[in-house]
Amino acid sequence: MNFGFWAKLSKPLMVLAPMADVTDASFRRVIAKYGKPDIMWTEFVSCDGLVSAGQKNLLHDLWFDESERPIVAQIFGSNPDNFRECAKLLVSLGFDGIDINMGCPSKDIEKSGSGACLIKDPDLAVRIIQATKEGAGDLPVSVKTRIGYRENEIPNWLPKLIEAEPAAIIIHARTRNEMSKVPARWETIKQAVDLAHELRPDAATRPLILGNADVKDLDEAKARVAETGCDGVMIGRGIFGNPWLFNTGKDNSVIPTEEKLRVMLEHTKLFVELLGHKKPLEMMKKHYKAYVNGFAGAAELRARLMECEDYDELERVVREFLGSKTL
Protein backbone atom coordinates (compact mmCIF):
# COMPACT_ATOMS: atom_id res chain seq x y z
CA MET A 1 0.00 0.00 0.00
CA ASN A 2 1.28 3.41 -0.93
CA PHE A 3 -0.29 5.95 1.42
CA GLY A 4 2.08 8.77 0.53
CA PHE A 5 1.13 12.04 2.22
CA TRP A 6 -2.02 10.41 3.70
CA ALA A 7 0.15 8.59 6.24
CA LYS A 8 1.58 11.85 7.56
CA LEU A 9 -1.75 13.42 8.52
CA SER A 10 -3.53 13.14 11.86
CA LYS A 11 -7.02 11.66 11.95
CA PRO A 12 -9.82 12.40 11.70
CA LEU A 13 -9.18 14.11 8.39
CA MET A 14 -11.28 17.13 7.46
CA VAL A 15 -10.99 17.68 3.74
CA LEU A 16 -12.44 19.88 0.99
CA ALA A 17 -14.59 18.27 -1.70
CA PRO A 18 -13.84 18.81 -5.38
CA MET A 19 -16.70 20.71 -7.02
CA ALA A 20 -16.85 21.57 -10.70
CA ASP A 21 -16.79 25.32 -11.39
CA VAL A 22 -16.48 26.00 -7.65
CA THR A 23 -13.19 24.83 -6.17
CA ASP A 24 -11.02 26.44 -8.83
CA ALA A 25 -7.54 27.85 -8.24
CA SER A 26 -8.82 31.20 -6.98
CA PHE A 27 -11.24 29.77 -4.41
CA ARG A 28 -8.75 27.19 -3.14
CA ARG A 29 -6.17 29.91 -2.60
CA VAL A 30 -8.66 31.95 -0.56
CA ILE A 31 -9.58 28.88 1.49
CA ALA A 32 -5.91 28.08 2.10
CA LYS A 33 -5.50 31.57 3.53
CA TYR A 34 -8.56 31.76 5.79
CA GLY A 35 -9.31 28.19 6.81
CA LYS A 36 -7.15 25.46 5.34
CA PRO A 37 -8.50 21.90 5.36
CA ASP A 38 -6.24 18.88 5.82
CA ILE A 39 -6.35 18.13 2.08
CA MET A 40 -7.54 19.99 -1.02
CA TRP A 41 -8.80 18.63 -4.34
CA THR A 42 -8.86 20.25 -7.75
CA GLU A 43 -12.02 20.32 -9.82
CA PHE A 44 -12.29 17.10 -11.80
CA VAL A 45 -10.61 17.09 -15.20
CA SER A 46 -11.08 14.78 -18.17
CA CYS A 47 -8.40 12.12 -18.37
CA ASP A 48 -9.03 11.71 -22.09
CA GLY A 49 -8.64 15.45 -22.62
CA LEU A 50 -5.40 15.65 -20.68
CA VAL A 51 -3.73 13.10 -22.93
CA SER A 52 -5.07 14.63 -26.15
CA ALA A 53 -4.08 17.53 -28.40
CA GLY A 54 -6.48 19.67 -26.36
CA GLN A 55 -4.45 19.28 -23.18
CA LYS A 56 -3.41 22.94 -23.05
CA ASN A 57 -7.06 23.99 -22.84
CA LEU A 58 -7.50 22.04 -19.60
CA LEU A 59 -4.30 22.76 -17.72
CA HIS A 60 -5.75 25.86 -16.01
CA ASP A 61 -8.02 23.51 -14.07
CA LEU A 62 -4.86 22.01 -12.56
CA TRP A 63 -3.14 25.22 -11.48
CA PHE A 64 -2.34 25.30 -7.78
CA ASP A 65 -0.32 27.28 -5.27
CA GLU A 66 2.14 25.91 -2.71
CA SER A 67 -0.18 27.14 0.07
CA GLU A 68 -2.72 24.50 -0.95
CA ARG A 69 -0.59 21.43 -0.19
CA PRO A 70 -1.33 18.62 0.14
CA ILE A 71 -3.20 19.02 -3.11
CA VAL A 72 -4.85 16.14 -4.99
CA ALA A 73 -5.72 16.22 -8.69
CA GLN A 74 -9.06 14.60 -9.51
CA ILE A 75 -9.55 13.03 -12.92
CA PHE A 76 -12.34 11.14 -14.66
CA GLY A 77 -12.56 8.83 -17.65
CA SER A 78 -12.98 5.18 -18.59
CA ASN A 79 -9.82 4.21 -20.50
CA PRO A 80 -7.15 2.63 -18.25
CA ASP A 81 -4.35 3.49 -20.69
CA ASN A 82 -5.30 7.16 -20.59
CA PHE A 83 -5.33 7.07 -16.79
CA ARG A 84 -1.80 5.67 -16.80
CA GLU A 85 -0.52 8.44 -19.07
CA CYS A 86 -2.52 11.11 -17.26
CA ALA A 87 -1.01 10.02 -13.94
CA LYS A 88 2.46 10.53 -15.37
CA LEU A 89 1.47 14.08 -16.34
CA LEU A 90 0.15 14.80 -12.85
CA VAL A 91 3.41 13.57 -11.35
CA SER A 92 5.30 16.02 -13.56
CA LEU A 93 2.99 18.85 -12.46
CA GLY A 94 3.95 18.29 -8.83
CA PHE A 95 0.73 17.05 -7.24
CA ASP A 96 0.72 15.25 -3.91
CA GLY A 97 -1.87 12.68 -4.92
CA ILE A 98 -4.31 11.57 -7.62
CA ASP A 99 -8.02 10.90 -7.14
CA ILE A 100 -10.28 9.01 -9.54
CA ASN A 101 -13.87 10.17 -9.81
CA MET A 102 -16.18 7.15 -9.75
CA GLY A 103 -19.22 8.94 -8.38
CA CYS A 104 -20.27 11.85 -10.59
CA PRO A 105 -23.94 11.32 -11.58
CA SER A 106 -23.90 13.69 -14.56
CA LYS A 107 -25.36 12.15 -17.71
CA ASP A 108 -22.76 13.97 -19.79
CA ILE A 109 -19.96 12.33 -17.80
CA GLU A 110 -21.62 8.92 -17.92
CA LYS A 111 -21.94 8.99 -21.71
CA SER A 112 -18.28 7.99 -21.90
CA GLY A 113 -18.62 5.32 -19.20
CA SER A 114 -17.05 7.61 -16.60
CA GLY A 115 -18.02 8.78 -13.12
CA ALA A 116 -20.72 6.79 -11.35
CA CYS A 117 -21.10 4.58 -14.42
CA LEU A 118 -18.00 2.71 -13.27
CA ILE A 119 -19.94 1.33 -10.29
CA LYS A 120 -21.71 -0.87 -12.86
CA ASP A 121 -18.37 -2.22 -14.14
CA PRO A 122 -16.22 -3.09 -11.10
CA ASP A 123 -13.64 -4.98 -13.15
CA LEU A 124 -12.98 -1.92 -15.31
CA ALA A 125 -12.83 0.21 -12.15
CA VAL A 126 -10.11 -2.06 -10.77
CA ARG A 127 -8.13 -1.87 -14.01
CA ILE A 128 -8.37 1.91 -13.96
CA ILE A 129 -7.04 2.09 -10.40
CA GLN A 130 -4.20 -0.28 -11.23
CA ALA A 131 -3.26 1.64 -14.38
CA THR A 132 -3.33 4.94 -12.51
CA LYS A 133 -1.06 3.52 -9.82
CA GLU A 134 1.36 2.34 -12.51
CA GLY A 135 1.62 5.85 -13.89
CA ALA A 136 1.59 7.58 -10.50
CA GLY A 137 4.93 6.31 -9.26
CA ASP A 138 5.29 7.43 -5.65
CA LEU A 139 2.03 9.41 -5.62
CA PRO A 140 -0.85 7.82 -3.71
CA VAL A 141 -4.06 7.12 -5.63
CA SER A 142 -7.52 7.49 -4.08
CA VAL A 143 -11.09 6.99 -5.30
CA LYS A 144 -14.22 9.09 -4.76
CA THR A 145 -17.42 7.15 -5.32
CA ARG A 146 -20.97 6.48 -4.10
CA ILE A 147 -22.59 3.66 -2.14
CA GLY A 148 -24.02 2.19 -5.33
CA TYR A 149 -25.73 2.96 -8.61
CA ARG A 150 -29.43 2.15 -8.11
CA GLU A 151 -29.21 0.73 -4.60
CA ASN A 152 -26.73 0.26 -1.79
CA GLU A 153 -24.00 -1.96 -3.27
CA ILE A 154 -21.35 -1.50 -0.57
CA PRO A 155 -21.09 -5.28 0.16
CA ASN A 156 -20.05 -5.97 -3.45
CA TRP A 157 -18.64 -2.64 -4.63
CA LEU A 158 -16.29 -1.87 -1.75
CA PRO A 159 -14.40 -5.21 -1.84
CA LYS A 160 -13.62 -4.67 -5.53
CA LEU A 161 -12.18 -1.25 -4.79
CA ILE A 162 -10.16 -2.55 -1.85
CA GLU A 163 -8.81 -5.30 -4.11
CA ALA A 164 -7.02 -2.59 -6.12
CA GLU A 165 -5.51 -1.08 -2.92
CA PRO A 166 -6.06 2.66 -3.28
CA ALA A 167 -4.73 4.78 -0.43
CA ALA A 168 -8.20 6.09 0.41
CA ILE A 169 -11.82 5.65 -0.63
CA ILE A 170 -14.14 8.62 -0.21
CA ILE A 171 -17.79 7.57 -0.23
CA HIS A 172 -20.74 9.83 -0.93
CA ALA A 173 -23.53 8.40 1.19
CA ARG A 174 -26.12 8.17 -1.58
CA THR A 175 -26.58 6.10 -4.72
CA ARG A 176 -26.11 7.56 -8.16
CA ASN A 177 -29.88 7.49 -8.77
CA GLU A 178 -30.55 9.33 -5.53
CA MET A 179 -28.33 12.19 -6.73
CA SER A 180 -28.72 14.71 -3.87
CA LYS A 181 -32.49 14.40 -3.68
CA VAL A 182 -32.69 12.38 -0.44
CA PRO A 183 -30.94 12.72 2.93
CA ALA A 184 -27.48 11.19 3.02
CA ARG A 185 -27.46 7.64 4.37
CA TRP A 186 -24.59 7.79 6.83
CA GLU A 187 -25.36 4.33 8.18
CA THR A 188 -23.87 3.05 4.92
CA ILE A 189 -20.57 4.75 5.75
CA LYS A 190 -20.43 2.76 9.00
CA GLN A 191 -21.23 -0.34 6.98
CA ALA A 192 -18.29 0.46 4.68
CA VAL A 193 -15.92 1.08 7.59
CA ASP A 194 -16.89 -2.20 9.27
CA LEU A 195 -16.49 -4.13 6.02
CA ALA A 196 -13.09 -2.57 5.30
CA HIS A 197 -11.88 -3.58 8.77
CA GLU A 198 -13.22 -7.09 8.25
CA LEU A 199 -11.54 -7.49 4.86
CA ARG A 200 -8.26 -5.87 5.89
CA PRO A 201 -7.72 -6.17 9.68
CA ASP A 202 -4.20 -4.79 9.28
CA ALA A 203 -4.34 -0.99 8.94
CA ALA A 204 -1.14 -1.10 6.87
CA THR A 205 -3.08 -2.84 4.06
CA ARG A 206 -6.46 -1.11 4.51
CA PRO A 207 -7.48 2.00 2.56
CA LEU A 208 -8.67 4.94 4.60
CA ILE A 209 -12.45 5.38 4.46
CA LEU A 210 -13.84 8.93 4.38
CA GLY A 211 -17.52 9.87 4.33
CA ASN A 212 -19.16 12.64 2.34
CA ALA A 213 -22.60 14.30 1.93
CA ASP A 214 -24.83 16.71 3.84
CA VAL A 215 -22.17 17.86 6.32
CA LYS A 216 -22.38 21.59 6.92
CA ASP A 217 -19.59 22.23 9.45
CA LEU A 218 -16.77 20.70 11.51
CA ASP A 219 -18.97 19.91 14.50
CA GLU A 220 -21.25 17.80 12.34
CA ALA A 221 -18.24 16.21 10.67
CA LYS A 222 -16.81 15.15 14.03
CA ALA A 223 -20.18 13.70 15.02
CA ARG A 224 -20.21 11.66 11.81
CA VAL A 225 -16.74 10.34 12.56
CA ALA A 226 -17.84 9.33 16.05
CA GLU A 227 -20.93 7.48 14.83
CA THR A 228 -19.33 5.69 11.87
CA GLY A 229 -15.67 5.22 12.79
CA CYS A 230 -14.59 6.65 9.44
CA ASP A 231 -11.13 8.15 9.04
CA GLY A 232 -12.42 11.56 8.04
CA VAL A 233 -15.09 13.61 6.36
CA MET A 234 -15.18 15.47 3.06
CA ILE A 235 -17.18 18.71 3.12
CA GLY A 236 -18.51 20.34 -0.03
CA ARG A 237 -21.44 22.72 -0.11
CA GLY A 238 -20.80 23.98 3.42
CA ILE A 239 -17.80 25.89 2.04
CA PHE A 240 -19.95 28.20 -0.11
CA GLY A 241 -19.54 31.75 1.15
CA ASN A 242 -17.54 30.47 4.11
CA PRO A 243 -13.78 30.19 3.46
CA TRP A 244 -13.37 30.07 7.26
CA LEU A 245 -15.16 26.70 7.48
CA PHE A 246 -12.06 24.67 8.34
CA ASN A 247 -10.57 27.35 10.63
CA THR A 248 -10.77 25.82 14.11
CA GLY A 249 -9.54 29.03 15.73
CA LYS A 250 -12.37 31.21 14.45
CA ASP A 251 -16.09 31.25 15.16
CA ASN A 252 -17.20 31.31 11.54
CA SER A 253 -20.86 31.55 12.50
CA VAL A 254 -20.41 35.24 13.35
CA ILE A 255 -18.21 36.62 10.58
CA PRO A 256 -18.75 40.42 10.37
CA THR A 257 -20.46 41.62 7.20
CA GLU A 258 -17.50 43.83 6.32
CA GLU A 259 -15.13 40.85 6.49
CA LYS A 260 -17.40 38.69 4.34
CA LEU A 261 -17.56 41.37 1.67
CA ARG A 262 -13.83 42.08 1.80
CA VAL A 263 -13.02 38.40 1.26
CA MET A 264 -15.63 38.18 -1.49
CA LEU A 265 -13.83 40.99 -3.30
CA GLU A 266 -10.46 39.33 -2.70
CA HIS A 267 -11.84 36.09 -4.11
CA THR A 268 -13.19 37.89 -7.17
CA LYS A 269 -9.93 39.74 -7.78
CA LEU A 270 -8.01 36.46 -7.65
CA PHE A 271 -10.50 34.86 -10.03
CA VAL A 272 -10.04 37.70 -12.54
CA GLU A 273 -6.24 37.66 -12.23
CA LEU A 274 -5.85 33.88 -12.47
CA LEU A 275 -8.76 32.77 -14.61
CA GLY A 276 -10.33 35.88 -16.15
CA HIS A 277 -8.86 35.07 -19.55
CA LYS A 278 -10.33 31.55 -19.35
CA LYS A 279 -13.66 31.93 -17.57
CA PRO A 280 -16.34 34.67 -17.49
CA LEU A 281 -17.08 36.67 -14.34
CA GLU A 282 -20.57 35.15 -14.43
CA MET A 283 -19.09 32.00 -12.90
CA MET A 284 -18.30 33.93 -9.72
CA LYS A 285 -21.86 35.03 -9.16
CA LYS A 286 -22.93 31.76 -7.55
CA HIS A 287 -20.47 32.68 -4.78
CA TYR A 288 -22.03 36.12 -4.30
CA LYS A 289 -25.33 34.48 -3.37
CA ALA A 290 -23.51 32.71 -0.54
CA TYR A 291 -21.25 35.54 0.65
CA VAL A 292 -24.08 38.10 0.61
CA ASN A 293 -26.54 36.47 2.94
CA GLY A 294 -27.85 36.79 6.48
CA PHE A 295 -27.50 40.53 7.07
CA ALA A 296 -29.65 43.63 6.63
CA GLY A 297 -29.79 44.75 3.01
CA ALA A 298 -28.29 41.50 1.68
CA ALA A 299 -31.04 40.86 -0.88
CA GLU A 300 -30.73 44.32 -2.39
CA LEU A 301 -26.94 44.11 -2.49
CA ARG A 302 -27.06 40.68 -4.13
CA ALA A 303 -29.37 42.02 -6.83
CA ARG A 304 -26.92 44.82 -7.61
CA LEU A 305 -23.91 42.48 -7.65
CA MET A 306 -25.62 40.21 -10.15
CA GLU A 307 -25.71 43.13 -12.58
CA CYS A 308 -21.99 43.93 -12.28
CA GLU A 309 -19.93 43.32 -15.39
CA ASP A 310 -16.38 43.66 -14.03
CA TYR A 311 -14.37 43.78 -10.81
CA ASP A 312 -14.20 47.59 -10.61
CA GLU A 313 -17.97 47.87 -10.75
CA LEU A 314 -18.32 45.16 -8.12
CA GLU A 315 -15.93 46.92 -5.75
CA ARG A 316 -17.72 50.23 -6.25
CA VAL A 317 -21.11 48.70 -5.38
CA VAL A 318 -19.70 47.07 -2.24
CA ARG A 319 -18.07 50.31 -1.08
CA GLU A 320 -21.30 52.22 -1.64
CA PHE A 321 -23.16 49.63 0.43
CA LEU A 322 -20.72 49.88 3.31
CA GLY A 323 -20.66 53.67 3.24
CA SER A 324 -18.09 54.96 5.74
CA LYS A 325 -17.05 51.48 6.81
CA THR A 326 -13.69 50.33 5.49
CA LEU A 327 -12.93 47.09 3.74
**Rounded distance between C-alpha atoms, residue 131 and residue 40, angstroms:** 23
3-state secondary structure 47-99: HHHHCCCCHHHCHHHHCCCHHHCCEEEEEECCCHHHHHHHHHHHHHHCCCEEE
DSSP state of 111: T
Cα 311 to Cα 181: distance, rounded to the nearest angstrom: 35
Which residue intervals of 203-310 are DSSP H helices? 218-228, 257-275, 285-291, 298-306
Strand partners, 46: 76
Nearest 5°: phi and psi at 244? -90, 0
Active site residue 47: no
Q: Among the options 47, 86, 104, 230, which is catalytic?
A: 104
Which residues are tagged catalytic? 104
